[in-house]
A and B are shown apart, each in its own frame.
Chain A
Amino acid sequence: MTENGTYVYYPGCSLQSTGRAYDTSTKRVAQHLNLTLNEIEDWNCCGATEYFSVNALPAYSLVARNLALAAETGGAPEVVAPCSACYLNLRKTNDYMHKFKKLGAQVNQALAAGGLHYEGGSLRVRHLLDIIVQDVGYDAIGAQVTRPLQGLRVAPYYGCLIVRPDTGYNTEYPTHLDALMTTLGATVVDFPMKTHCCGGHMTQISEEVAYELIRRILKNAADYGADAIVTLCPMCQLNLDAYQGQVNRTFNTDFNIPVMFFTQLMGLAFGLSTDELGFGSEMVPAMPALSRIGRELPEERERPKRRDKQALPMPTPRGSGRSES
């Protein structure tokens, strides 16, 4: 945790439009947890993936302007981004400027044309979820829960960029969002597709490709009995939510799974109202799923507590071998 829980906040373009509910709920939850988010003055777009496709140096420079402004924002040397794509671009630019000296020098040459300078690596770029689970911590969050999300079965969806290429979390099967949801009282379903791609910008390029990627994720969430998918990226939320209807039409399916931001669910568990948390703007209505909260879950499907006599032990890390008497 930074000193007195202050961070530099980079909302990014999506949080101003398609992901507005994420911005609203983030600010509300931060306030509830006494976190101060100082928004970067006059920040610009992070370039998404598009800018990097066309011309790398201007793309790095575009991002670096935000970092330079962030360094001037004062307070803690930690920038928090709720959008996974923004997070990746900020972090990558920050790292590369530090690691690849020539690139860093060139970017600074460009920044100088605007009267700015940024020392690569001098800030730490973090994703909002990382701050919530690492800095605030499960215990402190658990202590705030007044209305546990009991009865809600969620599929925790991480997407790509919060775990890849290298953020220190398991790159294929992270569990920190799972743990956060459990802390809030929700039931977490196993979700093998949790870090697969939501299609990103493919929705704009090739619908066939994008819808198939979205379908795989929705199908997996449905197969594992999720009431809702919880996300941490506005792009993922948009693709899984706004295109669900199109996916149903294309593949003749009937998915009806609301897609929420983890901050919205945190807020709910903290006893905040749905209005304060930006609910209502989702295309697949969240209300039917939310109305399950508080209800008893039907008995878990028969899962024999004691293994069958013949069954072979599941792999357990050596040393944690439980005795079976």
Chain B
Amino acid sequence: MSEEKIGVYVCHCGHNIAGTVNVEEVSEWAGHLPNVAVAKNYKFMCSSLGQEMVEEDIKQEGLTRVVVAACSPHMHEPTFRGACQRAGLNPYLFEMANIREHASWVHQDDKEAATEKAKAIISGAVRRAEELEPLEPFRAPINETTLVVGGGIAGINAALEIANSGHKVILVEREPSIGGHMAQFDKTFPTLDCAACILTPKMFDVGNNPNIELLTYSEVEQVDGFVGNFTVRIRKRARMIDTGLCTGCGDCWERCPAKVIDFVYESGLGYRTAVYRPFPQAVPKYPVIDTESCIYYKNGRCKACEKFCPTGAIKFDQQDEVVVANVGNIVLATGYDLFDARRIPAYGYGRLANVFTSMEFERMTNASGPTNGKVLLRDGVTQPESVAIIHCVGSRDKNTNIYCSATCCMAALKFAHLVKEKTHAQVYNFYIDMRTAFKDYELFYNRLLEEGTHFIRGRAAEVTDAARQPGEEGKLIVQAEDTLIGKQRRVPVDMVILMVAMEPRADASEVAHRFGIGCSDAGFFTERHPKLDPVATMNEGIFIAGTCQGPKDIPASVAQGEATAARVLSLIGKGEVQVEPVRARIDEDRCSGCRICNNLCPYGAIDFIAEKGVSRVNPAQCKGCGTCVAACPSQVITGQHYTYDSIMAQIEGLLYDQRTPDEHVRVLEMEPA
């Protein structure tokens, strides 16, 4: 056994730990563990006084290892590593024991057991600490180019902010134009300002900023590397248009005979042609040919666009291009999808013609939309005399999505106003709770109350065309309980608008996997800390902004976009990154050259050095996952900071009370070959 001097510090975390775990008893007990020189407990270890206590003891007592028993290392491992470093102890000789999430919080109703468990966790940490080795972090320069994925309002703001500081940005957008959902709107709550008027200038700036390389109709296929040094593979889908020649004149789409429903920009309410530019203000201005609906790709005939293009820009044989780029940081701003209203059959969407989704209605009110801004029934001519707006469709519902989509109450108010403004129809809002938090939103609610909108407090039960009594024939009847009266009501209307939920993108979990970040239960990207680190992720150098992180409105999306820019710029400003030395290392003298590890590595970090006949880990690519460590038949790969000995010692420590004085616990009988 080693001759270390270990300091153990048990944190109360206010009442969080001390309320359940008997911290005095635990620190007293820890003082008797072998090699423990100092054992103390303190109210808040993370406070400056707590940190100074550790520093002081390292200097005075000559501690060689430090264990802090407190919360999750996510938050405070860096804090205490810093304290060690300041006192001249290698920070990798610090070990954190999590007795909050792993003991006090999960065993609040059994203080005794929680206290015992805290002892076991600390015992494990102490034994592990004995086995730790001093390490030095890697230092690597930061590539100053940033990749932004997704050109909605969040991504646009992130890109502009970074580019305006003089650094390069590659903005990758999947659709033919940037703009995202905001480009579909006519008006925005709560001020009702014109969406295009505030969005178009920003889009224009993106298109013309010399620091932004805009890749639309493109997607990121592969990501390698680590913070400061990512390599990404981007597929630029063939537009079938030579953008060097195209002037965006529009002759092609005006002549194109293939008309299809536009599910993206028109949300299914309008049509587009096979060669199309999604909307007039699109950036870039060039169209694309959708080869799935183009007649030429079906039967080899047509080519109308080619005939009419004055510059000869149509290129039917254009191929996808693959761009490989090196970037230092990545901002994901991939946005949201909308809930498929067919999943709630009681509302009749898809069967009852005059049931619309919120996004269909947005398009309807848009001056450049399918009805030129008129509010009309599905027949395209009749104005409704009464409209029902149903809140929480696919939100706050365990059968679909449990969360609140946060923006739809406000969007519903916006719609109620627009209906009134454009048709003078009666408007009925069916809601569970009105959620109008944030600046000036309640004022907007008040304005709608003053406008005479009807508010019925009850989640709509169903929308039906089955008339039951006179006055209902030919109408859509919304049936609900008016919970403030406690009675059922049937409200006959001409039009129903479903406020559908914001959902994670259909491919969110795939994208998260590709970029090495996590998703919440609901499927949105997970931030590093919900309060204090909302735009970072567990993968350093990868940030998230806007609705890909969770439902939010435009102001919040913009703020997050700009916040990611600040984070990226602060990293760039540092000039270099420190990378955790938690990496696999191969003992080349003992490597048999079997190459089993080579293909197992999920990050392709292991190279075979042919002349020596051995494998070698490239530390820049290795993420320290340990797959190769476990697979090596000769057991010559070491996971630094997680060595075989340190893990076994920790297990042995955890099981301290399972062991008789002269007998090791059974798992320890297995020794490396």
Using Cβ atoms and an 8 Å threshold, which residues of chain B touch A321?
260-261, 263, 268
**B281 part of interface (Cβ distance < 8 Å):** no
Nearest neighbor of A315 in chain B, beta-carbon distance: B350
Question: Given that A308-B380, A325-B259 are known contacts, is A313 also in contact with B467, CB under 8 Å in the complex?
Answer: no
Using Cβ atoms and an 8 Å threshold, which residues of chain B touch A319?
263
Q: Could you tell me the distance in whole angstroms from the C-beta of B448 to the nearest C-beta in chain A?
A: 26
Q: Within the assembled complex, what's the spacing in Å between the Cα atoms of A250 and B340?
A: 42
A311, B466: Cβ atoms closer than 8 Å? no
Q: Which of A175-230 contact B (CB under 8 A)?
A: 192-193, 196, 216, 219-220, 223
Question: Given that A192-B464, A325-B259 are known contacts, is A314 also in contact with B353, CB under 8 Å in the complex?
Answer: yes
Q: Within the assembled complex, what's the spacing in Å between the Cα atoms of A220 and B469?
A: 11
Using Cβ atoms and an 8 Å threshold, which residues of chain A touch B271?
313, 324
**B381 part of interface (Cβ distance < 8 Å):** yes
Q: Within the assembled complex, what's the spacing in Å between the Cα atoms of A192 and B269?
A: 24
A324, B260: Cβ atoms closer than 8 Å? yes
Using Cβ atoms and an 8 Å threshold, which residues of chain B touch A316?
261, 268, 350
**A130 part of interface (Cβ distance < 8 Å):** no
> Which stretch (B48-56, B341-349, B557-565) binds chain A?
B341-349
Q: Could you tell me the distance in whole angstroms from the C-beta of A319 to the nearest C-beta in chain B?
A: 8
Residue from A170, A173, A196, A311 in contact with B380 in the complex, judged by beta carbons closer than 8 Å: A311
A311, B378: Cβ atoms closer than 8 Å? yes
Question: Given that A310-B379, A312-B371, A321-B261 are known contacts, is A173 also in contact with B351, CB under 8 Å in the complex?
Answer: yes
A312, B466: Cβ atoms closer than 8 Å? no
Using Cβ atoms and an 8 Å threshold, which residues of chain A touch B534?
none
Question: Given that A171-B345, A310-B380, A314-B350 are known contacts, is A223 also in contact with B259, CB under 8 Å in the complex?
Answer: no
Using Cβ atoms and an 8 Å threshold, which residues of chain A touch B295?
325
Interface size on A (CB < 8 Å)?
A: 28
Q: Within the assembled complex, what's the spacing in Å between the Cα atoms of A311 and B370?
A: 10
Residue from B263, B269, B380 in contact with A318 in the complex, judged by beta carbons closer than 8 Å: B263
Q: Which of A267-325 contact B (CB under 8 A)?
A: 308-319, 321-325
Interface size on B (CB < 8 Å)?
A: 37
Q: Which of B455-478 contact A (CB under 8 A)?
A: 462, 464-468
Using Cβ atoms and an 8 Å threshold, which residues of chain A touch B370?
312
Q: Within the assembled complex, what's the spacing in Å between the Cα atoms of A113 and B313?
A: 86
**A39 part of interface (Cβ distance < 8 Å):** no
Q: Could you tell me the distance in whole angstroms from the C-beta of B117 to the nearest C-beta in chain A?
A: 29
Using Cβ atoms and an 8 Å threshold, which residues of chain B touch A322?
260-261
**B225 part of interface (Cβ distance < 8 Å):** no
B257, A325: Cβ atoms closer than 8 Å? yes
Q: Within the assembled complex, what's the spacing in Å between the Cα atoms of A312 and B376?
A: 9
Using Cβ atoms and an 8 Å threshold, which residues of chain B touch A119?
none
Q: Which of B353-379 contact A (CB under 8 A)?
A: 353, 357, 360, 370-371, 376, 378-379
Mask: chain B, 258-284; 1 = CB below 8 Å from A; 0 = not: 111101000011110000000000000
Q: Within the assembled complex, what's the spacing in Å between the Cα atoms of A170 and B348?
A: 12
Using Cβ atoms and an 8 Å threshold, which residues of chain B touch A318?
263, 268
Question: Given that A172-B345, A317-B342, A318-B263 are known contacts, is A323 also in contact with B293, CB under 8 Å in the complex?
Answer: yes
B259, A312: Cβ atoms closer than 8 Å? no
Q: Which of A315, A318, A321 has the most CB of B within 10 A?
A: A315
A313, B261: Cβ atoms closer than 8 Å? yes
Q: Which of A193, A216, A312, A314 has the most CB of B within 10 A?
A: A312
Nearest neighbor of A215 in chain B, beta-carbon distance: B468
Residue from B349, B360, B379 in contact with A311 in the complex, judged by beta carbons closer than 8 Å: B379
B258, A313: Cβ atoms closer than 8 Å? no
Using Cβ atoms and an 8 Å threshold, which residues of chain A touch B261?
313, 316, 321-322, 324
Residue from A171, A193, A313, A324 in contact with B269 in the complex, judged by beta carbons closer than 8 Å: A313
A-B contact pairs, 8 of them (CB 8 A): A192-B348, A193-B466, A220-B466, A310-B381, A313-B271, A315-B268, A315-B341, A324-B261
Give the B-binding residues of A (Cβ under 8 A). 170-173, 192-193, 196, 216, 219-220, 223, 308-319, 321-325
Supplied contacts A313-B268, A315-B357, 6 more A-B pairs, CB within 8 Å: A196-B466, A219-B466, A219-B468, A317-B342, A321-B260, A322-B260
